[in-house]
Structure 1
Amino acid sequence: MTDSRSVLLTVIGRNFDGIDVAGLAAGNQLELVNLSDYERDLHRVVNEFAELSGHLFVGTGSIAFDSHVAAALGAPVIVVYDRPGDHVQLAVADIECCGAVVAEACDPERLSGAVGPALELALDTAAVISPALFEHRLIVRARNANSHIVLPEGDDDRILDAASQVLAQGIADVTILGNASDVLERARTNGWDLSRAQIIDHLESPWLEEFAGIFAELRKHKGVTLEQARETMKDVSYFATMMVYKGLADGMVSGAVHTTAHTIKPALQIIKTVPEASVVSSIFLMIMQGKRYAFGDSAVNPNPTADQLGEIAVVSARTAAQFGVDPKVALLSYSTGGSGAGPDVEKVIAATQRAKEIAPELAIDGPLQFDAAMEPSVARKKMPDSPVAGQATVMIFPDLDAGNIGYKAVQRTAGALAVGPILQGLKKPVNDLSRGATVPDIVNTIAITAIQAGGSR
C-alpha cells in the first residue's frame, strides 16, 4: 500500500485582491470542504485522498481542520499569508501542535517556488501514521482480503448496524446468525441495509446435524456423545466456530453479548492453536499520531507461565507485523536487566530466553522497565547495548493486570486509538469484542479479522 506523498496548502487571511492562490502553484489541486461534522469530514477527506501521490491539496483556511488533515495524511503544509506578522508564527505553531510539518510559510509571490521543495520533503518524509490514516488503510486491506466473516450475535443491534457498514464499504462478506425475519425487520426499522448478508437461523440449519457429528468425533476422547454434541451445536458460538472450521466462513467475530471465555472455548476445542502457541492470547494495536505499538497480552491470560509468556511475545510480534508494526519486542518488568530481583523478575528473564529460542531472528529483550523500553535517553543509561531498549514497539506485559491497565491508561490519557483485542495463536481467526464495544469498534474488529483470514488462506 502506498504512503501519502503530498502537500497541503492552507491560506490565512483573505486580502489577496483577487489573486488565484491555488492557480499560482504547480501540480494538481483538490479542494477540501469543511462541513459541519468535524470527525466525519476528517475521515471522509482521509479516505478520499490518502492514496493519492504527488498532489497539492488546497485547504479550507481553517487552521485546525487543515492541520489535522495534513497530520493524518503525512502531508507537509505550505502556509500562504496575505501579510507578515505574529499571526503567521502563531498559525505555524498551531499547525505543528497538531502533529503536522510546516514546509514553508510564504506570500503568494513566493508560492510557486515553495511547492517543489515541499514535494521533495514529502518524498523524503518517513511513513506517517495517524488514527484516521490507520483506519483507512485497515479498511483498504480488508477489502483486498475478500474474506467472509460470521457474526453469531444477530440479536444485538450493534452487530446489525456494523454489518450494514461492513457490507456498504465492501470490507467483507458477512453471515449473521439469527431469525431472518426478525433480523431483517430490525434492519428495516433502523435503516440498515442487510440485503447482501447471509442470515442463518442455526437451529433450523441443515448443517446442524453435520456439525454435531463432526464435534462428537473431535471430542470423543473427552467422552462427548452425539446427543451431547447436538445440544452443544445449538449454541451460536459453537455453530459459528464450526462454520470457520469447515471453511464456510473465514473468521468469526463475537463477544458483544458473550464473555471472552464463551468466544474462546469453542475455538480451542474445534479450531485449536498453532504449533508454536500453547495458549490463545491477544494484543491491542495502539495508534497515535506518528506512532504505532502493540500491547499484549491485555485481554486473555491472567497469569501466564514463563514459557507461555515467551510464546506470547513471539506470536505478538508476528501479529503486530501483519499490521505495519516493525516488531522490536520488550518483555516488561519493574526491573531493567539486573536492577531488581525476585520471582516476578526471574519469570520475565526465563520468558525472554524462551522467546529467543523460539524466534532467534526477532529483536527481543527483557526484562525492561517501560521507560527503558520506550525512551532512548533512559535506554542509553540503563541498557546501552540492547537491540530493543529505547525503540520497542511490541510491549509484552507480565500478567493480565499490568496489560489491561497499561493499554487503558495509554488509551485514555494519550488519546490513542486502541484496536482490539486481536486474538492470536489459533489456526483460523476468531476475535473477541468487549461487551461495551461501539459500532466503530465492531467494524474495525471485523476488518482486522478479514485481514487475518486473508493472510492465513
Structure 2
Amino acid sequence: MDLLSSIVARAKSDKQRIVLPEAEEERTLCAADKALADDLADIILIGNPAKVEALAKEKGLTNIGKATLIDPENYDKSEELAEKLAEIRKSKGMTIEEARKLIKNPLYLGCMIIKTEGADGQIYGALSTTGDTLRPALQIIKCQPGITCVSGGLLLISKQKQYGEDGVLVVGDVAVTPMPDAAQLSQIAVCTAQTAKSVAGFAEPRVAMLSFSTKGSAKHEVVDKVVEATRLAKELDPALKIDGELQADAALVPSVGAKKAPGSDIAGKANVLVFPNLEVGNIGYKMVQRLGDAIAIGPILQGIARPVNDLSRGCSVDDIYYMIAITACQAMDAKK
C-alpha cells in the first residue's frame, strides 16, 4: 500500500469530524462530496445553504446531503459561541459586539466549533491566505502545551527507496517561521516528528538537525544554534531519537554518516529532516521536488492544539481530499 492509500485507510478506521468553512468554493465542495462518498470523514460545511445546494446540483454532487451544513448568518449557536469567543479574547479587549461580528466569519466559526468540541479539525485556504488561516487558529485554538512556534511539515516521497522510510521523508519547517531561534527550532523538530508518526505512520521517527556542518566540522553561530536546538529538543521530548548538527548527506547516506558522524544512531538513517531556517527548507524541498521528481505533500501545519491546515489557493480537488485524510490522522493523534 502506498503512503497516500495508507493515510486514507487510517482516516477511515476512526472517522473524525472535519470542518470545511469554504463550502461555497467549487473544489472544496467537490472534495467534500468525494470524502463523503468514500466515508473518509464526517464533514461539516460552512456556507450559505442556497449557494451550496445550487453548486452541488450544478456539479452533480450527490453526497453533499450527508454533510452537516451550517449557515454562518443563521446558526442557532452563534450567540453562545460569540460569548465564548469574547471570553477567550477579553484580555485583548474584544467586546461581545466584535465577537458577534467575527462569529459570522466562517473561518472563526469553524475554529470555535472545534474549541467547543463540536469538531476535530479544519481545512481552508482555497480562498484564504495563510495569514487568514493562522489568525483564528492561534487566537482561539492556540498551540499545543509547551509549544509556541507553529511550523509547516511536508511529506517528501522519492523514487530513491534507500532513503528515509522506503523513500518517504518528513521535513520541516517549509512554510511558517522564517528564522527560528534555537528554542523554536527545537519545537519544530518535536512537532515534525509528531507529524511523521501521526500522518506518515512512522513507528520510529529518526530526526536529523541539518546544517552545513557535521559534528563541529565548521564553526559558526548558525551551527551553534542547531546544536543548541538539538539539546533543547531532547529536553522537550526525552524519548525522541535525534542528532545534530548533520549535513544532509551525513543524515541520509549510511556510508557518509559512518565516516562523518561515527557512533551516531541517526546519521545515515534519518527519516525526518529539520532545516535550520525557512529559506533553506522551502528552497530545498522545491529543488528535490522538481529536479528529483519527488512528490511533495503539504505543508501540514504543526504545533496547533487541534489540527487546522492551510491549502494552496491553486490546490486541486485531490489535494483537498488528501488533506482531509491528513487532518483526520492528526486529529486522531491529538486525542491520545
Report TM bin, short chain. Answer: over 0.9
Instruction: Check conservation: 1:145, 1:453, Cα contact below 8 A.
Output: no
> Does 1:361 pair with 2:230?
no
Query: In the alignment, residue 175 of structure 1 is paired with which amino acid?
Result: I
Is 1:275 the equivalent of 2:151?
no
Q: CA deviation at 1:346?
A: 1.4
Distance in 2 (CA, whole Å) between partners of 1:410 and 1:143 is 31
Query: Aligned-pair distance for 1:360?
Result: 2.3
Report the counterpart of residue 324 of structure 1 in structure 2: 201
Distance in 2 (CA, whole Å) between partners of 1:423 and 1:292 is 18
Matches within 5 A, 1:386-425: 386-425=264-303
Q: Give the TM-score, by structure 1 length.
A: 0.69
User: For 1:164 and 1:239, how far apart are their aligned partners in 2?
Assistant: 21
Provide the C-alpha distance between the structure 2 equivalents of 1:335 and 1:314, rounded to a whole number of angstroms: 21
CA contact (8 A) 2:152 2:176 kept: yes
Higher relative contact order (CA 8 A, sep 6+): 2
Counterpart in the other structure of 1:292:
168
Q: Which whole-Å CA distance do the structure 1 matches of 2:70 and 2:220 have between them?
A: 54
In structure 2, the partner of 1:240 is 110
Q: TM-score, normalised by structure 2?
A: 0.93
Return the alpha-carbon distance in structure 2 between the equivalents of residues 280 and 226 of structure 1. 28
Aligned to 2:321: 443
Q: Secondary structure at the match of 2:100?
A: helix
CA distance in 2, matches of 1:443, 1:294: 20
Unaligned runs of 5+ in 1: 1-49, 51-132
What secondary structure does 1:185 align onto? helix
SS at match of 1:203: coil
> What residue number does 1:340 align with?
218
Q: Distance in 2 between matches of 1:204 and 1:337?
A: 60
Identity among equivalent pairs (%): 46
Partner-residue secondary structure (3-state), 2:79 = helix
Give the CA deviation at 1:345. 1.1
Alignment coverage as a number of residue pairs: 326
- Partners in 2 of 1:328 and 1:316 — Cα distance? 10
Aligned to 1:189, the other structure's residue is in SS state helix
The 3-state SS of whatever aligns with 1:445 is helix
| Partner Cα distance (1:327, 1:413) in 2 | 26
- The alpha-carbon deviation at position 366 of structure 1 amounts to 1.0
Equivalent residue in structure 1 for 2:73, among 173, 196, 203? 203
Give the residue type in structure 2 aligned to 1:134: L
Structure 2 residue aligned with 1:220: 90
What is the Cα deviation at residue 455 of structure 1? 2.6
- Whether the 8 Å contact between 2:179 and 2:277 is mirrored in structure 1 is yes
Task: Kindly indicate whether residue 311 of structure 2 is the aligned counterpart of residue 433 of structure 1.
Answer: yes
CA contact (8 A) 1:252 1:429 kept: yes
Contact 1:316–1:394 (Cα < 8 Å) also in 2: yes
Name the CA distance, whole Å, in 2 between partners of 1:236 and 1:244: 12
Give the superposed CA RMSD.
1.4
Whether 1:310 and 2:186 are equivalent positions in the alignment is yes
Is this contact kept in 1: 2:24–2:55, CA < 8 A? no
Q: Is the 8 A contact 1:295 1:396 kept in 2?
A: yes
How far is 1:234 from its partner? 2.1
SS at match of 2:45: strand
SS of 1:202 mapped into structure 2: coil
Matched to 2:174, the amino acid is S
1:352 shift after superposition: 0.9
* 4+ long deviations beyond 3 Å: none
Query: Matched residue of 2:312: which SS?
Result: coil
Match of 1:256 in 2: 126
C-alpha displacement at 1:447, in angstroms? 0.3
Q: Secondary structure of the equivalent of 2:19?
A: strand
Instruction: Mark the runs of 5 or more structure 2 residues left unpaired by the alignment.
Output: 160-165
